[in-house]
Homo-oligomer: A and B are copies of this chain.
């Protein structure tokens, strides 16, 4: 790719427009867009005008919103009209959602009335809904067509459809009654009726315009669909969502989960394109909440302060105990959150998960406790510390309990969140660490009170 970048820039600088045009004809739209984003507005416009006619809408769709805006502000009304005409509705809507109002207005002015009406309707669907990511360029068939008629219909009308590979069958009220993959049409006899080979009622899979995009992605992944039909509340076909957009949704949803699990407010933009204040704002909320909740650990320690001062080696193990508890909780909450997201774990599995976690915690906790005991003995031997062996015993016992508590909390909170219709991803590492910290300290000081404090007298 780098080599090609050089070629474009060089050809542009040398004014070899004809060679540049040939070059552009051979390149992939994605690569062209990636390189155009680096150009000055003037050069951007020049390259855009040199694009082969049938590629310009495609290339434009792949540009980032900044470059799209620069371009729209530079091209003529006529060019804008052609561009909007050539673009798929879902791409136009994506682009319009990112640019300032004046650009939106200019684009809408130059769309033909029908397109304008469509765009306006699409812009009104709630963010992250199926309606907001669908496109209206799908193949519609009537169920009384024969396979031959259907294929003829596709060949006649297919050129401006986003996909031909799944066709949807509607009745006279535009109600969705079936779907038929192109491969079925192509592989059957000419005179078979569409209604005989289509997936109908029982097998038909569709979503509502108001469904969350996450639900769409789930459906598509589960049934290996290349496109998902979208219907309104009277089951009339209004659009489809194609697999390329679904792949983007999957990555978006994953990013959102990653962010939530790190207790970040979700960001709309790529990291490098987000401002410092915006980044700080996304982070400060949860940092503050967690810092303030740390008041509890502070109070617990303060209460025990006098005894901590008397017992050598007790304070030194606090960070290790807290970290181990936090890490153990983090591991299981991540697994459960991921399992819930992929549908591998359901709410009804809670007791199975809990029982499993208790057993895992016993194995992990015992191993850690034993090794930790050995570690502490060795360190004392090396550094000549003055901690008593019963302190080590309390530390290791607390560690076992902390791991068990952490695993139980770590698997319970995400499932509880799901039950309460909250996002399980919020119940991740940092959140659980804060809870486990306080409980671990209570356990630790409880054991110390029982087993060490009496020996002090």
- The distance in angstroms between the C-alpha atoms of A226 and B264, with both chains bound, is 33
Asked if A339 is at the interface (CB within 8 A of a chain B CB), the reply is yes
- Are the CB atoms of A251 and B154 closer together than 8 Å? no
A336, A360, A368: residue with the most chain B Cβ atoms closer than 10 Å: A360
Given contacts A294-B320, A363-B277, whether A288 and B368 have CB atoms under 8 Å apart is yes
Partner of A379, one of B164, B264, B298: B298
In the complex, identify which listed stretch (A37-45, A116-124, A268-276) lies at the interface while the others stay far away: A268-276
Asked if A258 is at the interface (CB within 8 A of a chain B CB), the reply is yes
- Are the CB atoms of B276 and A363 closer together than 8 Å? yes
- Are the CB atoms of B186 and A154 closer together than 8 Å? yes
Interface residues of A (CB under 8 A from B): 26-28, 30, 151, 154-155, 158-159, 163-165, 182-183, 186-187, 202-203, 205, 220-224, 226, 243-244, 246-248, 250-251, 254-255, 257-259, 261-264, 270-272, 276-277, 279-280, 283-284, 286-288, 290-292, 294-295, 297-299, 301-302, 305, 308-309, 312-313, 315-320, 322-324, 326-328, 330-331, 333-339, 342, 344-345, 349, 352-353, 356, 359-360, 363-364, 367-368, 371-372, 375, 379, 383, 385, 429-430, 433-434, 437, 441
Given contacts A187-B159, A319-B297, A379-B298, whether A339 and B203 have CB atoms under 8 Å apart is no
Q: State the majority secondary structure of interface residues on A.
A: helix
- Are the CB atoms of B334 and A264 closer together than 8 Å? yes
- In the assembled complex, the CB of A142 is this many whole angstroms from the nearest CB of chain B, namely 19
A257, A292, A294, A368: residue with the most chain B Cβ atoms closer than 10 Å: A294
Q: What 9 A-B pairs come out closest when comparing CB atoms?
A: A294-B320, A262-B334, A309-B309, A280-B363, A224-B244, A297-B319, A26-B202, A301-B316, A298-B316
- Are the CB atoms of B186 and A323 closer together than 8 Å? no
- Are the CB atoms of A352 and B250 closer together than 8 Å? no
- In the assembled complex, the CB of A350 is this many whole angstroms from the nearest CB of chain B, namely 11
- The distance in angstroms between the C-alpha atoms of A264 and B345, with both chains bound, is 18
Contacts of A312 in B (CB 8 A): 305
Contacts of A284 in B (CB 8 A): 363-364, 367-368
Contacts of A271 in B (CB 8 A): 335-336, 338-339, 344-345, 353
A26, A151, A224, A250: residue with the most chain B Cβ atoms closer than 10 Å: A224
Contacts of A437 in B (CB 8 A): 319, 323
Contacts of A299 in B (CB 8 A): 316, 379, 383
Given contacts A312-B305, A315-B305, A324-B294, whether A186 and B164 have CB atoms under 8 Å apart is yes
Partner of A327, one of B26, B151, B250, B287: B287
Given contacts A186-B164, A224-B244, A339-B270, whether A327 and B430 have CB atoms under 8 Å apart is yes
Contacts of A342 in B (CB 8 A): 251, 255
- The distance in angstroms between the C-alpha atoms of A342 and B183, with both chains bound, is 33
